[in-house]
Amino acid sequence: MSMRRKVALAASAAFIATLATATAQDPTSLKDAYKGAFVVGAAINNAQITGQDSRGDAIISEQFDSISPENVLKWERVHPEPGTYAFDLPDKYVAFGEKHHMFIVGHCLVWHSQVPGWVFRDDKGNFVDRDTLLKRMHDHIQTVVGRYKGRIQSWDVVNEALNEDGTLRQSPWLKIIGEDYIEKAFQYAHEADPQAQLTYNDYSLENETKRKGALALITKLKAEGIPVTSVGLQGHLGLQWPSVETEDVTISDFAKLGVKVVVSELDIDVLPPATQQQTADVSLKVEQNAKLNPYAGGLPQSVQQELAKRYADLFGVFLKHRDVVTRVTLWGVTDADSWRNDWPVKGRTSYPLLFDRNGQPKPAFHEVVRIGKSTEAR
């Protein structure tokens, strides 16, 4: 072997060794990049819970240190009929989190959607009275939260109780029980697991009018001694809305009330808005229109870069408030998993997350990791 060849090989080996050392020293996962600031989570689906999606499971275990259940702990899934609970998948979900030493979230206990009709009606089809519904709520929360006491660390207790104008949503919970249904839900959850973190969770709280309603609600609950630990900003956001300044103000406003903030369901829509309303209401349906699905064949690089900058800017805000923000959870693992693919327009191809449909990290992923690793941000 010539001397030049030996020198080249030695130089190459040295470079590889240096690169390996740097890689070992520098955090390259989301959870490592934000270690000491807040946990980074993902919402996981049935296939990931049961091990059918091995690619997704690998991403979850490598990148995240928290999980939320996309559906398995919603009332219609876990408690479909009176006296009947389906704990097989929830048990697997909790076991998955424990296996990977994760912060485990329960989602959600009281919501107006995905609730079986029997919950609100008697055997003749009439609405039940206040006491009956309170007992059903109490028994459900005691059974579900109690089963995972000390294992699920945080619960989304009440989900989406507010209208866009900040008033209370006219849900069956409100109509039958009254405004104190929210207080009761938190009380029951606290009784079932006094150590669990308890969250009020909602979307579009960046909208000032709705945020004022949420601030008033949390203020009222705190004044009455209700154990509200945190407010969940769902974070179903867009490329333009809300502004970075608005996100900053929103977190600050809730921090002033003495509660923590979690970004509970983060994704960023890159598609044209299907409605003028800033909402994540799952009941919304919009007719198909080719103009609303412009990237069916793939996302242009220019939009990829725009998405990357948007994620970086938002994570910069979250890091700024790391004394208040305790968790940031992406609502899904890859673009293929996202609920936005079919909402509010059936069949749309969406790109709202950090990993693409093939499970590969997008430019947005690298930007988010870069922000987390930044010594300036610390």
Q: For this structure, is 306 an active site residue? A: no
The structure tokens listed for 154 are 């945080």
| 93 vs 68: CA distance, rounded Å | 9
| 112 φ/ψ angles, rounded to the nearest 5 degrees | -80, -15
Q: With both helix axes pointing from N to C terminus, report the angle between 181-192 and 208-223 in degrees, rounded to the nearest 10.
A: 60
Tokens representing 202 are: 């909602």
Beta-carbon contacts of 75 under 8 Å, excluding residues fewer than 6 positions away, are: 109, 111, 114, 115, 116, 119, 140
The long-range contacts involving 1-10, CB below 8 angstroms and separated by at least 24 positions, are none
Task: Classify the C-alpha dihedral 254-256-258-262 as positive or negative.
Answer: positive
Q: Which of 307, 313, 312, 303 is nearest to 243 (CA)?
A: 313
Q: What is the DSSP letter of 135?
A: H
Catalytic residue among 160, 183, 247, 306: 160
Annotated catalytic residue, options 70, 183, 247, 265:
265
- H or E, element range at 237: strand 236-238
- Give the whole-angstrom CA distance, residue 228 versus residue 321: 19
Can you tell me the distance from the alpha carbon of 188 to that of 293, in angstroms, rounded to the nearest whole number? 44
160 is catalytic: yes
Query: Could you give the CA distance from residue 238 to residue 29 in angstroms, rounded to a whole number?
Result: 24
Name every residue whose Cβ is closer than 8 Å to that of residue 7 and which is 6 or more positions away in sequence. none
Distance separating alpha carbons of residues 369 and 62, to the nearest angstrom: 13
Rounded (5°) CA angle 265-266-270: 130
Positions marked active-site: 160, 265
